[in-house]
Structure 1
Amino acid sequence: MADRAAILLLAHGTPDELDEIPQYLSNITGGRPMPESVIEEIRHRYSLIGKSPLTSLTLEQGRLLAERISAPVYVGMRNWKPYIADVVATMRADGIEKIVAICLAPQNSRTSVGLYRRAVASAAQGMIVDFIEGWADHPLLADAFAERLRAVWTPFSTESAAPVPVLFTAHSVPCRTIQSSDADIAPDPYAIEAKLTAALVAERIDGLAPGNWFFAFQSQGMSGGPWIGPTVEDTLTALHQQGVTKLVLDPIGFLCDHVEILYDIDIAFRDFAANLGMELRRPESLNSSSLLTTALADLAQRGLARISA
């Protein structure tokens, strides 16, 4: 604590109760109203999984990280409690002067990750902040995903007497959020970084040939306007037409379980695949993965070294 430095893990956040969903969605849209049909659909999805564990799992990731490093670890959410601004206020009260902020969305986007950066910058005025924007190519992140994937893919392939195809996914974003009409601004890196993570994971799986894995963007929103693709549904349909009957779906854009995994994949995509005559399996989410903790510790220690130099 000599430098009064701490780590701040940043995550999306999720409501604790079904009745909190309207306010939660309002936080996501910046107050723009959403159709009641959309609110009810989201409420229905949450009801099917019982409760999203995102907050509790992220807090556990923070606890595990704190055991590995010599600095305190805090957790702040962008769209729900504990809000980033409130957590930074607590850090100030605790005497923290320097922050290493790690966004638990490894693939950088000017919009999604950019919103985290702006939230931290607004709350942490006067404090020294080292904000880690993207770590999609971190070798330990790829190792962590590969460890989980291998545990499902290898026995599934053995059982099937042939290497099973893998469909990697990451959360989609609205097209408008990654487009820019300014020729001086570089293209948003999100789609490239998401596919890079997938490629790094795939190359770690012995027997998974380059032509036997695919990529799609999942969980396109219901707020209107085009979202980046291809969608999982279109990709599953195309693979079905090619004769694929068994598939592993691996979401490499998420670090823990939440509604986009427990509903979108485990219920919606699995049912969609079953209706096509396909068997769909997915690896266990990283959650409390020791390799993930090691990756976060490496990021944290590098950040602490930068702000202490």
Structure 2
Amino acid sequence: MKNFDHILLIGFGGPETPEDVVPFLKRVTAGRKIPEQRLLAVAHHYEMIGGVSPYNPWASSLQIQIKDALKSKLPVFLGHRNTAPFLKDQVLEIHRRGFKKGIGVVLAPFRSTASCRRYKENIHEALHEHGITELQYLYLDPWYRDSKWIDLLASLARQTFESIPLALREQTEILFSCHSIPSVADSACSSCIYSAEYETASNLTAQAAGFKSWKHVYQSRSGDPSQPWLGPDILDAMKQAAQEGKKALLVIPMGFLSDNAEVLYDLDIEAKNLAAEIGIEFFRASTPGNDPRLADLFARLIERKAAHPNAGAGCVI
């Protein structure tokens, strides 16, 4: 990796103490005119899962795992968009230490304005604001359909499916679930369509896991209720499954590299409680989390980008 001198992992961030929750939510929703009442309701969701998010400790662990997997002296930095260590602060520290060219790794598999472009814009803004011209980033090529990524997801999904009692498996509805976004943002990036990347990865995962049928749903929508968001919503799909006589649900989170509030509350509490109400068994596949295969995947993608910096659809900012 002679053409690069560091790696920058780019994460969303999560609150690490109960006192961090509301300030974190205000940063996440800045400029979106979210009512205070809605923020407090979401803050209560965090209370229900222990008052904090496991995201930051997971990301820090991944940082160490990737450095070990790379087996090199190349430093691996970590910056979050919404919590410390803040992305803009990390970029300034990287510049202060004299680094010139890095590989940026956005910790999200599907590209959209919220899950990709805003992170890169934050880096660009930090550089522009401080007049820094000699620090440059090249980003990983799209990896949502990478075979190792699909194999990892399929193994996690299959493991949970095999935990379902045999008598229920033929009557199990398999739901791939991804974070919803406003419909207008689905194709906001010129080179990607969020829903298409999600559905492609889900289809490949289902096929690799040997599933016969499955559906794509969305979860965790927020914002103006009058604004169209991607659907169908997972809760509506669950009710439909019960009406069709399904006895169990296997929910496979897609786009979530680790557990967070959307997984631990929206799925493990809200969706699971609904399943109990409508009389259907609920099973949820694990997220990759600290599985070493995830760090190995990123190490391989980083090495590939370093070896072929001009190949693929990576971009320079």
TM-score (norm 1): 0.90
Deviations along 1:30-81, whole A, 9 cap, x unmatched? 3454322112101100001012100110111111010011222111111121
Alignment partner of 2:258: what SS? coil
Q: Return the match for 1:252 from 250, 254, 257.
A: 254
Partner residue in 1 for 2:229: 227
1:109–1:80 CA distance, 2 compared to 1 (3 A): same
Residue 37 of structure 1 corresponds to 37
Q: Secondary structure at the match of 1:155?
A: coil
1:24 Cα deviation after fit:
1.8
CA distance in 2, matches of 1:258, 1:199: 24
Report the AA paired with residue 59 of structure 1: S
Identical residues among aligned pairs (%) = 27
Aligned runs of 1:278-297 on 2, under 5 Å?
278-297=280-299
Which residue in 2 is equivalent to 1:68? 69
Per the TM alignment, residue 92 of structure 1 is displaced from its structure 2 partner at its CA by 1.9
Moved over 4 A (4+): 1-4, 185-188
- Pairwise CA distance, 1:117: 1.4
Counterpart mapping for 1:134-153 below 5 A:
134-153=142-161
Could you list the per-position Cα deviations for residues 169-210 of structure 1 after superposition, in whole angstroms to 9, with x for gaps in the alignment?
Answer: 110001232366xxxx8585100000111111111113x11x
**Aligned match for 1:266, one of 265, 268, 278:** 268
Deviations 1:86-141 (A, max 9, x none): 11122223332111111111011144311011112233442121122632111111
2:171/2:248 contact within 8 Å kept = no
Q: TM-score, normalised by structure 2?
A: 0.88
Secondary structure in 1 matching 2:231 = coil
What is the deviation of 1:213? Answer: 0.9
Change (3 A) 1:96 1:21: same
Q: Distance in 1 between matches of 2:141 and 2:218?
A: 20
Q: State the shift of 1:85 in Å.
A: 0.7
Figure out how many residues of one structure are paired with residues of the other and give that number: 302
Question: 1:149 deviation in Å?
Answer: 1.1
CA deviation after TM superposition for structure 1 residue 247, in Å: 1.2
Tell me whether 1:192 sits opposite 2:200 in the alignment. Answer: no
Q: How far apart, CA to CA, are the structure 2 residues paired with 1:16 and 1:118?
A: 25
Give the letter aligned to residue 14 of structure 1.
Answer: G
Distance 1:133 1:41 in 2: 37
Partner of 2:182: 174
1:237-277 deviations in Å (ceiling 9; x for gaps): 11111111111100011000110000000000001111111
1:222 Cα deviation after fit: 3.8
**1:298 and 1:122 mapped to 2: Cα distance?**
29
Output aligned runs, 1:210-221, within 5 Å: 212-221=213-222
Residues 113 and 133, structure 1, Cα contact 8 Å, conserved in 2: no
